[in-house]
Amino acid sequence: MIVLEQVSKSYRSKDGLISAVAPTSLEVAEGEIFGIIGQSGAGKSTILRMMNLLEAPTTGSVIVNGRDLTKCSPQELRVARRSIGMIFQHFYLLQNRTAADNIAFPLEISGVPKKNREQRVKQCLEIVGLEDKASAYPAQLSGGQKQRVAIARALATEPKVLLCDEPTSALDPQTTGVILEFIRDINKRFGVTIVLVSHDMEVVKHICGRIAVMEHGSIVETLDLSGTGQKPTTEIAKLLLGDRREALKGGVAYV
């Protein structure tokens, strides 16, 4: 579903080149909920943003749904991105548009006729349980409701992949639980492959089947958390996952 082949990302600065991600390969299978964890600055967001070419890799290939995005023309990339939704920590809703019009936005850009747009917006509002907030502006919504609108907007074009960059970091624990349930539901009901970056281990342990652990721009370990009993081997993974892993396996948090 998602294949990163030796992708790397460097930034130019006045002090020379900064390496955000060293040449790294990764495969995420169709239907997975895949987590990316690591300390601040490890390169998590950069690797996620390379999966839809929001960040163009310095080297390597990004293959999503069998298509090498690094070889796409701008027009081809626009089309390919319709099957890759994304949500962010700070939602990034258009403040001067209602919830319904925010959800309609990607459909407008894709040239979907008005009648079909309205139908799809209605469906997406239903998926996130916000039918009654169609006419509300972002300023009139709570953080959790804003993220639900952002999820609905990401789903509007019926993506096969949903990239989630710290989707619950601006939310309280209870709202975090609600958002995680929506993400899990979308994965189950529609088979959408989810890649989720989070610094919150409880979030990751709660919904991810497999995770990649990043340190200094590299994936140092991938782990299966789905009850296989696989133990972390690197120090950083042990540190991040900690002793609470066992305690949380039964889904103590956010239920």
Ligand X SMILES: Nc1ncnc2c1ncn2[C@@H]1O[C@H](COP(=O)(O)OP(=O)(O)OP(=O)(O)O)[C@@H](O)[C@H]1O
Residues of this chain that bind ligand X (CB under 6 A) = 11, 18, 20, 38, 40-46, 199
Question: Residue 106: which residues within 8 A CB-CB, separation 6 or more?
Answer: 82, 153, 156, 157
> CB-based burial of residue 193 (10 Å sphere; 0-12 exposed, 13-18 middle, 19+ buried)?
buried
Going by C-alpha positions, the residue among 82, 11, 87, 18 that lies closest to residue 49 is 87
Q: Cβ closer to ligand X: 42 or 161? A: 42
Closest distance of CB 24 from ligand X, Å = 12
Q: How far apart are CA 244 and CA 221, in angstroms?
A: 19
Q: How far is the CB of 138 from ligand X (least distance, A)?
A: 23
Q: Would you say 101 or 165 has its CB closer to ligand X?
A: 165
* Closest distance to ligand X from the beta carbon of 222 (Å): 16
Nearer to ligand X, 65 or 222 (CB): 222
> Do 181 and 188 contact (CB within 8 A), yes or no?
no
**Is the Cβ of residue 100 or residue 240 nearer to ligand X in the bound state?**
240
Tell me if 32 sits within 8 A of 194, measured CB to CB.
yes
In whole angstroms, the minimum distance from the beta carbon of 201 to ligand X comes to 13
